[in-house]
Structures are given as C-alpha cells and as structure tokens.
A and B are shown apart, each in its own frame.
Chain A
C-alpha cells in the first residue's frame, strides 16, 4: 500500500510517498498550477508507479483561496427577524484605531441576499415568537429566480433550541439548495461568530466539493482524504459540505510534520518556526497539536478548532527601510519572489533580510538552492550602504558600516519573530525555556539559533525533511473530528451530569470515525470543557475529569496569575474530539559508525559574528551523518536552507539525520 501526502504551495506542489511494504519514503516537487490546483496534484500522481492500493492525503488551499479571493458560491443568509445585518455590524469595531479613512467592510453575502424570518427563542431555549414558516416560501422563490446555490441559516439561540433552524433548513434542502445550518456546524453561543462561521462554510463548500469531486474522479480507486484546519485528516466523503473545516489546511500540515519529527527525536514541547520569504508562522506544541477556537481567516471569525498558528510579516524577503523618526524598520513589505532581494539581481533595489545575511557571509553566494542560483554580493552591499548612510549609522568597532547595517537588519527581523513567539508562549503562561525550536522554513536556519538564544531556548532541531515537512505531516496526521455544544451551566454542575451531556457527542464522534473505516480500538475520545468564573467572558479549556473544577483553578492561576477557588464557575461549552489513530510512516534510522567529517567539510570563509569577522568552517548538510558533531561558529549548507551556528552553539546529527543544536545561552 502506498501512502501519499500532497501539499500545494504557491510555487511548488510537494509530494511525499511512503510505501508501507518496504517502508521507503521519497519526495519530489512539481510546479503548482494556481488557477487549477488539481492539475498539479494529478500530475504528481501520474509520476508515481501504478500502485494497486493508495491512500492520498491532501492539503487543500481551495477553500482558503475561495474565501480570500472572494470566489465562493452565490449564497444567501437567513436570520432571525431584526438581525439581517449581523455580518455588516460584526462587533462594530474598526480594524485600525488611528485610521481616519477606513474602507467599509465588504461582507461575503451582499445586503440584498440577507433575509429575515419571524421567529425568536430566548436563552433558555423557550420560544418567544413562533416560527412563521410561510415566509420561507417567498424567499425560496427569490433565491431560485436569482440562481442562488448555497444558503446559510443562523437563528439566535439555535444552539439552545435548534428546531426552528431544523425546520427551515429542511425546507431549503427540499427545494434543492446546499444548506449550512448554524446548529449543525457550530452549536455555540455568540451570534456574530457563529453566523460568520456558518456563512464561510456556505460560501466555500460548494467550490471545494466540486474540486474534490474532480480529483476523486481522476484518482479512481485511491482512498482520498484532506487535511483539516485542526491538523487531523478527514475522508473526502465526510469533508463534503464542511469546507470551513479545511480553511487553513496547508499550514496545519507543517505543524503536524514538525510535531512528528520532533516527537520521534524525543522532544515533547516544541515551538515550530517556519520562516519563509514573506512571513513567518510560529506555533507552540505541547504534546498535542495546538488548536484555537478564536481564529479569524481573511478578517472573518471562524469558530471551529483551527491549528493555533501566529503569523508575522517577517521573512527573508522583508524590506529594510528608514522611517520618519530615523529608526530602522524591517517589513512587513516584502520583495517577494519577484523581484526578490537585491542579491537575486532581478531588479530589486531595497535591501532585504536575505541581502543582510549575504553581506554577513552567513548566506553563501554560491550555495543558494544547491548552487543553482548565484547571489550578487556587490549589489546587496550597495543597497545596504545607501540605507546605512540614510540612517547615519555609526561604524562599529571591528565591523564596516555595511556589515553593521546588515547585522542591524537581522537583529530587527529577529525582534519581530521573538515577539511572535512570545505571543504564543509566555503570553499564554508557558515558559519557552523547556521547549525545542523546530525550524523548517527556507529562511529559518540562519535565524533559529539567535532567536532561540533570545528566548532562552536551549535546543534547535532542523529536520533533513525540512522542505517537505508539510507533505510529510499529511501522512502523519490522525483522523480527527471536533464537536461542540454550548451548555452555559453555572449552578454546581456535577461530573456525572457533564458526562451525560457529552455522551451524544461522543457517540457521534465514534460513529463518524467508524464510517471512515476506523476500528473502535483505534479511536480515542477526548472530552473538554470551556470554563470560566461566573461573570467572565473568556473561557479556558479544561479536560473533563472528575476534578475538573480544581484543574480549572490551576489553569487560571497559570494563565492569569490568580484563581478564585471559592467562586462559582460556569461550564460554557462541552467539546469532544474524536481521534482515529493512524500509523505514521516509519522514518529511516541510521547507525553511527565512526563518522569521518572530512567529506562534509566544504570550505572555510569569513563571516560576521557578533561584532567581529572570523573565518569559520562551512559544511555540506547532505554529507552529514549520524554521530557527526559540529562546533559553532560554522555554517551548514543544505539544498533548501542554510544554517548558522553562533560562537557558543554546537550541533550533532541524530539517528534520523536531524541536526540537533545545543544553543549556548
């Protein structure tokens, strides 16, 4: 049996193939075809030998792009009477405080496609105004006339009393519409966020469904899964109609892959660090894949569990410039791939982080992309010199003005990324010092050690599979389904009662996984509570255990520095996650046999360390073997990334050929 992970990127589509019969793993890239993503996928598949049995797991950007590029289905929204403008109003706030001239918000559903139906239920689920079903008929007529495809139904308090939504939904389905009902998708309180999630689903699902049908048809017998935003995979049959669940499919693969290689190497607590050309994604993995229920995509809130990734506009292509106060800024504007950094020689004029690394000698001019693209040192130096003059930069002892400039750019870029990592770790009450930084983006290797040092992180891990980690993650992903139900219980609620409330979700989870061919032995069910002190507005997730109350107090103390053991608590939601365990691919292991480092040695060249220039050894990453040990300062050049070890760092190659760097703090 072949298992195939496919990740569609902006430029390349990565394919990782794992053959279960001989445990072999290989990977390759094909050019992406952004306007018809299925073409690259199918091309990738044709390059494989005809295997009898195949499982394909696919990270799809189709739903994401439909949303971000506003190419979703034609749709309508049905709300409770008096609330048709929910989407326009949102939370009635503006995005930037100090913007006098903001653009009005453009919602996914135009105003003339938002309809109201007379009905109202209160918070206890008691009907205040009965449903006027006849109103549905005239709406159906309009929608049919306008050839609307998809309908979102979101009534107030539908999570407490779903019957009104059920009745209306049934009628629309009968009339042939694709319908998303809020109580089916996210039976959770807060009307704007629930409605937004429901609308996104209605908007992207028909588009995703058509795409999946096309791919599946072309694949014939293969089993076909897609990676969801929560980091778990889902069979295409179940993914249909729930497009919002794969709204951030691609980045999820990277985190799952990083977790997989990190865990195999023996490390539980990880910070994943994916620094690319224009931005950097970071996330905190403490054993499990981190998810958030408070994500926003393209500015719209999404209340389904989404892998918790924080993105900052800082990457190799980020542009450095002088601001009005005479300070150095780096990003978020990026030179992108075209024209790219000045050193690409493609017409870029403004210096970038990559130019700075080139000037520092940390990025070898002849080692980029396996030496296939030479970088122009002179042009970078000129660009940096212009900026340094602009900033009146004083030369530092031991460094030329241009070198000092380059070092400054790298330090500022690191400050951005440090702040991003603080947001996902210390701001949430987690210490970074017991974490391992897993770096896998193309630009990350040059920054990982310095960044780790600033955060007090003592270990960095770089996988030999760094460039295809996301596709590998698709193969390592478990099957995963999430369920939620708002309870809003504040009186002393018992463990038994909560178990009772959770049971229907557990049953549904097991049923859904069974339907995907998973045996009950391979299914784990996790029950969690969203809890808060009565009167608060933000919940903390606590596992449903006998002492859930004490666990909540402890977590609150950890996050916010205080707890109220006497105070009343509220159980706002119950959440169930059903996980169907998938056997991950076995990665090759290598023995250490008296390693000789000479073959890996490439050259010795000067690079800029902190304040001095020094000759340091450069190694070829592809020739490093298990047991090899390297002392910093040094440079390791791999095909897809370059790694910089500082003066106090040292690295060794482990049995999976990971580079494990001990960071000198």
Chain B
C-alpha cells in the first residue's frame, strides 16, 4: 500500500524526466545546463571544503602514526570531531591587527590566497560524463576547452595572497617569507610548465578530459614521460609550499613566515588555502600523469554509451588516485627535512630547468620523428618507442644526475683538488700567521 502511494508520488516526477532528449548527447538547452551547473558547483564546493577540513585531521593523524604517536583521539569518534573543534576555536579567537600593518591589504590577503585555490577546482574533471534526462552532463563544473591553461593561470595567482600577507604585515619575518614564496613560485612554475608541455605534446590538446582520454588509449603518461612526472611532482610541492619546500613558513628561521602576524580565522585561511592547493595538485597529478578518472587495465569505462555506474566507478578511481597523492604529500612532509634556500634555488634553476628543457626538446623531436615515419599514435609501436625512450631517460637520471648532483650538500660541490687548493690559500694567509691554529 505504502509502496504504491510512493510510486504515485514519484510518477509525475518520472514523467517530467522523460524529456525525449537523447541522454548520450551533451546538454544543449540553457535552463537545464544552468541549473545542473549550479548543482554541480554546490556539491563540488561542499565536498571540497569538507575534504579540506578532513585533510587537516588526516595530516595530524598521519604525522602522529609516522612518529609513533596516536594523534587527536578525544573529540567524538576516534577524534574526528577535532576538525569541528579547531574550526570553532578559529572562529572564536580574537582578531588582532598589528599597529603598523597596511590594514586593507592585510585583510584582503587571506582571501587572495583562498579564492584561487578554490577556483582551480572548477575545471577538474572528476568522473566519466553522466547521462541525464536533459542530455549528457560532463563531470566538471566548467568543461573549458582551455582547461589546463586555466589551472596554470589561476594557481599562480595564489602567490599574491602570500606575498601581500607578508608585505602588509609590516614585519621583517613575514616580508622575508613572502619574498621567498614569490621567488620559489616563479622558479618552479617554469619547470612545472615545461613538464606539462610534454604531456600536452602527447595529447595534442589542453582540455583535461581529452588528456584523460589520450592516456586511456596510449597508456598513462607516468610510464611514457616519467621524467616530466618527476619534475612536475617536485614542482607541485614547491608550488603548494609543502615540505621539503616550505621555506615561506620555515618556522625555525622565520617564526611562521608570511602568516606571523595573522590570528583567528584569517590565519586559518592560509592553511585552508594550502590544503586546497594540495587537493588541486593531487588532482592535476593524477589527471596529467595517472590517467585521471581512467580505470587501469580496462577500456570499457572510457567509451560511450555512458551510464551512471561508469560515472560512479570512475569517480572512485579518481578519488583513489587523489587520496594516494594527498597521502604522499603528508608522507613526504613527515619524512624529509626542509631544503636550504640556496639548495632550493639551485635545484630549481640549475638542475630541473635545464633537464626539463632538454627533455621537452627530446620528446618533441621523437614525436615529430614518429609522426613523420607514419607510426599511428594509438599503435603499440608508438607506445613502445616512447616507453623505451623513457626508460633510457630514467636510467640516465638515476645513474648520472643523481650522484651528488641533484641537491648539493655543503660538502660535495668542491672537487678534492679545488678543496686542497683553497686550504693551501687559507694556510698561507696572514691570518694564519698571526692567530695560529
């Protein structure tokens, strides 16, 4: 009886859904498109913010486990409520303004750090398209044709928040943090952009969905362009200001860097932006190099006809990859010590940039050669040749480059001959004569 009444209630809804539009073709009508986009925005934003909040909890837990501790475990079930407790704490705290701060920018800066981190997510495709009664809905908030360029453009805006926070605080440590952040971002953005050029060369398109589809047919970029992946991976750590590249914060040198003078929710915006950037970076890593929402070793999930089941499974695949990279972010943070500033700069400019430039030229030449030789992009030979090339490059990296040359400790830059020459100079100096040993 009750089921029949429920069916009667649903029936008009079902009738309304029967629009007669082919669900496998993209949505064309204005109103369904607008409403569905707004729904997507709300859902994505909510999931994103809750995810970021939970990430702060995950970070604390993972750091605790790595250090043989237990971590927050008192609030609600197993300490999950810590997220809420921290949020409430941040809202209740007093907002302080340094007397000498440039107040307008001081208030604006956290928002400037926060907004780009949120906006980037708009173009990330997180699952296979979903068929609806009004047509095929792409699982991206905004399926821009220039999707990837958009993420690059917006993510580099985030540095303004940090620099302005550092400058407007009128505090030397904050200013140094802001300066470091801008120098670091500029240095690594170049290497990051170059590493993605390889991916774009292979995909022939900057739409992120197209890049995913290309990887589904050719194999994931991580096994075809490992070097580009490595450079991109390292650069994302520098871009998100995560250890081992968190020099803008560097609490042992700069107190807390750019956010020294911030308190309460304005302070909290910076960590939120950082975690949001981490989520975006993880999403981009999995999109560009690990096939995005592609389920590995199968092809059925990448081809029409689309269905809700496919959407759900590919969403699961994408989430799994992303969570893995988010975990790696934390794993690396609690493993590696922070770089020295000169190491950071020399790694960025002297190692990663030349290496990736050479690699881009190499990849471009090989792709041109293969296209000229008439080898089809989808063929096994094409993938095989790229894989062999990649294998050679990785071997080169491990054998030649990574021999005390990637990151220089204080010791290994000088050759022994040079060292003894310098020591001889020091021994002959007048200081040695007057002061003794």
Same complex: no
Interfacial residues, chain B to chain A (CB-CB below 8 A): none
